[in-house]
Amino acid sequence: VAAIVARMAQNQSNSAGVQAIYEQYTELFGTNKPLLEQFFIYMKNVFHGDFGFSFSQYPRSVADVIKASILWTICLQFPAIIVGWLIGNTLGALAAYLRKGFDKVLMPISIFVSNFPAFGMAVILLVIFGVGLKWFPTSGGYGFDLIPAFSLKFIWSVIVHYQLPFWSIVLIAIGGQAIGMRSMSIYELNADYVKYSRFMGIKDRKIIGYVFRNAMLPQVTGLALSIGTMVGGALVAEIIFSYPGLGFTILNGVMGQDYPLISAVTLVITLMVLGATFLIEILYGFIDPRIKAAQVD
């Protein structure tokens, strides 16, 4: 509150006027009430979707700030996580089936990438493809000279700015998924039903389909358990590329000591992760026939 008043009262010499402004804003933000009362008022407002005003972007409300950035995060993170999961599982299954050269090349790379910090991959892509080769822009969600509009120029700018943060998230996701899928596929390939199927002369292509589906089930559970970590890494990528999503928004909140914005973004991210995990658990019930049978019984 003091920071907001200081910004607004820079050209005022009347101390009484400054004091009146300060009292007005303490009343507006509710900081003149006891701490416990402030907490219950805040909780009541949150249940109504009211997070108050942003300290750093006043007079914008926190809800308006989040609305402007949440779609960028959803469109970046969840497609990247799903694409990374699919590519990683496919490569892991191929490594288990082909073995030899492909496996020897893929596994060291996957282990290296899976242990890479999220910010590390983002920085590498930024330096190589943004600063060095200059193939892609290094920051932002679209060109700074553009006004958001439904036009080919703006859409193309969004797509170009999307590439580096998207692939930095995808590449991190691929490594761990490939390692897990390879282990599960090797286990399934040595199962009795695979040996029996080969003995009966069933084509390898059909057998691999069964192996992939069975090996994928633990990977779905693993995705549900690790999606929080993946989202956290993706938020770091947003910060590094100054992508206008929730990650960059929460950084601006921290820099501006905007506590209502920080708490609201943290709550929204938590709800997004919980919602995604819940959806994955529901989908698992449709994917695994054993869960279906248990539900019917």
Digit-coded pLDDT (tens) for 171-189: 888 888 888 888 888 888 8
Task: Specify whether 230 is located in the same domain as 272.
Answer: yes
Phi, psi angle pair for 13, to nearest 5°: -105, -10
Total domains in the chain come to 2
Task: Specify whether 20 is located in the same domain as 140.
Answer: no
Task: Specify whether 80 is located in the same domain as 21.
Answer: no
Tell me whether residue 77 is in a domain: yes
Task: Specify whether 166 is located in the same domain as 266.
Answer: yes
Tell me whether residue 241 is in a domain: yes
Nearest-CA neighbor of 132 among 164, 157, 85? 164
> What average pLDDT does range 193-201 have in this prediction?
83
Task: Specify whether 207 is located in the same domain as 97.
Answer: yes
Digit-coded pLDDT (tens) for 82-108: 898 889 888 888 888 777 777 778 888
Render the burial of 79-115: b for 16+ CB within 10 Å, e for the rest.
ebbebbbebbbebbbbbbbeeeeebeebbeebeebbe
Q: Is the dihedral of CA 257, 231, 282, 221 positive or negative?
A: negative
Range of the domain at 134: 62-296
Tell me whether residue 50 is in a domain: no
Q: What percent of the chain has pLDDT over 70?
A: 89
Per-residue pLDDT, 159? 92
> What average pLDDT does range 188-194 have in this prediction?
83
Task: Specify whether 205 is located in the same domain as 112.
Answer: yes
Count of Cβ atoms closer than 10 Å to residue 46 Cβ = 14
Digit-coded pLDDT (tens) for 30-42: 777 787 887 888 8
Tell me whether residue 15 is in a domain: yes
Angle CA 87–89–93, to nearest 5: 120
The continuous run of DSSP H or E covering 86 comes out as helix 62-98
Tell me whether residue 284 is in a domain: yes
Identity (one letter) of the amino acid at 40?
F
Q: What is the CATH number of the domain that holds 70?
A: 1.10.3720.10
Count of Cβ atoms closer than 10 Å to residue 13 Cβ = 7
Task: Specify whether 236 is located in the same domain as 107.
Answer: yes
Higher pLDDT, 37 or 248: 248
Task: Specify whether 13 is located in the same domain as 134.
Answer: no
Q: How confident is the model at residue 13 (pLDDT cuts 50, 70, 90)?
A: low
Token pair for 97: 């089936």
